[in-house]
Amino acid sequence: MTLRARWLVAALLLAAVTACDAARHHPEHFGTGTSAAAGIGRSSHFPARAPPIEINPTDGDVDGVVIFLHGLGGSPEKETWLANDPNKRYARPGIKWIFPWSPELDVTVTKQREPAWYDINDFNIGSLEDDRSHILAASRYIESIVDAQVNELGIDPRRVVVGGFSQGGAIALTASLRYPKRLGGILALSTYLPLRDEYPEEMNSRQRWTPLFQAHGKDDRVLRMEYYFATRAKMSKLGFKNRWDYLYPGLGHDKCREETLDMYAFLDDVFGDKYDDLDEGNWVGGPVDLGLVGTKNETKKETKKETKEETKEETKAAKARGKEAELPVVQRGGARNDPKQQVQRRLRDMVFRANALLGREQE
């Protein structure tokens, strides 16, 4: 080999090493790819930093998946306790947990580079400007994870729940609304729906029956209550019927034990098998025994009656509490074991389940 050839080989090797080193130190500039089944327009160029953390069930085959996204400045490592709860509060067999990484971005509001799904210019809802390009890129990335699980595990998308905290919840809501098929459920913790004006007045008949868990701390000083009510109002306009809405007095921009237990109850409802044999499983889970639902006509009659009475009570309470209570919501806290509250919650759940069954039959 001539001297010139040796120098050429050395230069090529140096370039390769430099490129690998750049990828290792700045992985946010490199796409993650997606499954071939994702389809045209569904491929992801989202700059994730590393493969998601996956926690597989130790008790058999995967029967359901929960994809949970961390918030601004967070990491999936800080969320894995949800799958490894030390109190073993959620030990349902067959559930796989996936915790994706966000990239690192320059964040305007914090004036620093940190883990973020998208840039945010202000925490004030009135001056907030949505970072559309990063929001949609993150949404496509999460959709590609859903596709991969559906294709690799051979499960129905309705056995996949997408959720997150704060910024992660915003992406979870976005991905769930933009995914072409109905998912098993949505977990929206201390978050909001970005790009609200880009959605139609009502989603298609299948998507609007997706169970939605929306929870917020009443003392949140980062994403204040305006975010919660704006999102709740928009999701109602979009036609979402199966709602689990909770406010937690004394809770700031964080999670709490009460919220976690309510979330686990929601997941039990989604991943239950009580309705699996009905209409190919369009509706699964639920605390209501089928015997309590009755025939279609009886259900319509009872649901209408209960809804009318419930609305009357909510209107009365709204006038007493003021504008903050325009939309019905379960207030959680010290009164968790109040028998009256438990009965009201069960009645609310019965109405949700009955509505879901009627909606399923009409699809």
pTM of the complete model beyond 0.85:
no
Nearest to 284, CA basis, from 345, 209, 362, 202: 209
32-79 pLDDT, tens digit per residue, is: 333 323 322 333 455 656 899 999 887 778 989 999 999 999 999 999
Cα 282–Cα 201–Cα 363 angle in degrees, nearest 5: 25
Q: What pLDDT, on a 0 to 100 scale, did the predictor assign at position 208?
A: 81
* DSSP strand pairing (160-165 vs 104-107): unpaired
Average pLDDT over residues 185-214: 88
CA distances from 270 to 23, 67, 158, 183 (A): 40, 14, 9, 10
Q: How far apart are CA 40 and CA 185, in angstroms?
A: 25
Structure tokens at 61: 């085959």
Answer whether 69's CB lies under 8 Å from 106's CB: no
Q: Which residues pair with 97 in a beta bridge?
A: 55, 66
Answer whether 252's CB lies under 8 Å from 221's CB: yes
Answer whether 160's CB lies under 8 Å from 198's CB: no
332-363 pLDDT, tens digit per residue, is: 543 344 455 555 555 655 655 565 555 543 33
Secondary structure (3-state) at 171: helix
pLDDT higher than 60, residue 210: yes
Answer whether 275's CB lies under 8 Å from 257's CB: no
User: For tokens 């098998």, what's the residue?
Assistant: 273
CA distances from 106 to 26, 110, 113, 119, 295 (A): 13, 9, 4, 7, 57
**pLDDT higher for 139 or 330?**
139
pLDDT higher than 70, residue 232: yes
Q: Which residues pair with 42 in a beta bridge?
A: none
79-138 pLDDT, tens digit per residue, is: 998 987 655 555 567 899 999 999 999 999 999 999 999 999 999 888 888 999 999 999
Q: How far apart are CA 250 and CA 224, in angstroms?
A: 13
pLDDT higher than 50, residue 144: yes
Mean of all residue pLDDT scores within the chain: 73
Q: For each of the domains in the chain, give its residue range(s) and CATH number, in order of start.
A: 27-271 (3.40.50.1820), 290-362 (no CATH)
Which residue type, as a one-letter code, is found at position 311? T
